[in-house]
Structure 1
Amino acid sequence: MAAHSDNAPLFLADHVALDFLNTVMQVNGQPQDLWQSDDDVLAWLARAELATPGETVSWPAGTLLHEARRLREIIRTLVAQKKAGEKLQPEALNAFLATIPACKQLHAGETLHIVKVYVSNNPARLLAPVAELAASLLVDPHGELIRTCEHPDCTLWFYDRTKSHRRRWCSMALCGNRAKVARFRQQQK
């Protein structure tokens, strides 16, 4: 994948759990983890609209980063198992989900609705929506729509929501265009 100008996470997978995986990407041919601090994870969660921007945390520095990376690898393993047609080994994700106490509450705003409230004060509270979305992705009967980019230098995942289900690239603007340019150059030789 081409170097991403500011090395900011890309949101192009059409599924938040896959965007979560895509926080490790190829930059100049080398895997790069776009999370280097708790603040990086908090910024990603805010950009994914899963946390409030500027949310404060009350645990030791690096704890959220560690838990996010651990959850990311759990999800990556399970998605790879699903894509390979293997029997899923959900114990690690289930153990993570078990650490997230939550309850539903009635919220009276402009309209009356129910909201899910995470009641713990640990990093899992912030990562809970991602873990739940990953579990939903894994039970999705359309697992064939979970794909990796076909560009040989790209490792990004996406969920193919196109009408024809023929999406091949993480993004036409990135890898799709690079493939077209490479094909054109090959034809010119």
Structure 2
Amino acid sequence: MTDPRDPRPLIGEPLALDLLNTRWRGTPVNDLLTDVEGYRIWLSSNGLAERCPADRAGLEAVLTAREALAQLVEAAEQQRPAPLDGLNAVLAHGRTVHRLTEAGPRREVEVDRPLWLAAWLAADDYLDLLDQGAHRIKACAHPTCILHFLDTSQNGRRRWCSMAVCGNRAKAARHYQKITG
């Protein structure tokens, strides 16, 4: 389901973390969400292209959510009080409505304006991740990587966003250090 135009090195994390991962290492930092086309790619990669308008207003709402999520994750990493207002402001734009239908129970998301749907879904997903265990939300251990992932390993010891990329970089650096002294 990932959009083949998506250039990010880590795709497929839960929606909240996938939104954070629209920024990745580089000089300057790479950012998929610098324009509406990048936003369109992100929506497509997350199966939201049919549900969310890909326009400047939606992009601005998603950027607001990304900033709020980044502040919360950073506060958790630094073990300082979490700034709750940003995410709560995004969440205030929508709600989940529970209904009983002929087919059984159904949950529907309602937002005050369609432009907030993707942002609200990412913010709501972050709450679900916290319910699963905030300690499972991790930053990649590679010193130059800025990506985040949900550690679903059995022992909770995953360190890298990708063993193939950052894990191998770390191994190569350790090996080089050994042979050079």
Q: Which residue of 1 aligns with 2:35?
A: 37
- In the alignment of these two chains, the number of paired residues is 176
Query: 124, 138, 151: which one pairs with 1:160?
Result: 151
Query: 102, 106, 129: which one pairs with 1:114?
Result: 106
Q: Which residue of 1 aligns with 2:98?
A: 104
Q: 1:90 to 1:25 in 2, by over 3 A?
A: same
Separation of aligned partners in 2, 1:112 and 1:30? 50
| Preserved CA contact (<8 Å) 1:105 1:117 | no
Q: CA deviation at 1:171?
A: 0.3
Q: TM-score, normalised by structure 2?
A: 0.81
Partner of 2:172: helix, strand, or coil? helix
Separation of aligned partners in 2, 1:151 and 1:57? 35
Q: CA deviation at 1:124?
A: 0.7
Equivalent position amino acid for 1:121 in 2:
R
Aligned-residue RMSD, C-alpha: 2.6
Partner of 1:35: helix, strand, or coil? helix
Identity across matched positions, percent: 31
Structure 1, unpaired ranges of 5+: none
Q: TM-score, normalised by structure 1?
A: 0.78
Q: CA deviation at 1:164?
A: 1.9
| Preserved CA contact (<8 Å) 1:42 1:55 | no
Structure 2, unpaired ranges of 5+: none
Does residue 143 in structure 1 map to residue 142 in structure 2? no
Equivalent position amino acid for 1:10 in 2:
L
Does residue 11 in structure 1 map to residue 22 in structure 2? no
Query: 30, 34, 48: which one pairs with 2:46?
Result: 48
| Preserved CA contact (<8 Å) 2:93 2:120 | no
| Preserved CA contact (<8 Å) 1:9 1:34 | no
Equivalent position amino acid for 1:46 in 2:
S
| Preserved CA contact (<8 Å) 2:75 2:81 | yes
Q: CA deviation at 1:155?
A: 0.9
Query: 111, 116, 126: which one pairs with 2:118?
Result: 126
Partner of 2:30: helix, strand, or coil? strand
> Higher relative CO (CA 8 A, sep ≥ 6), structure 1 or 2?
1
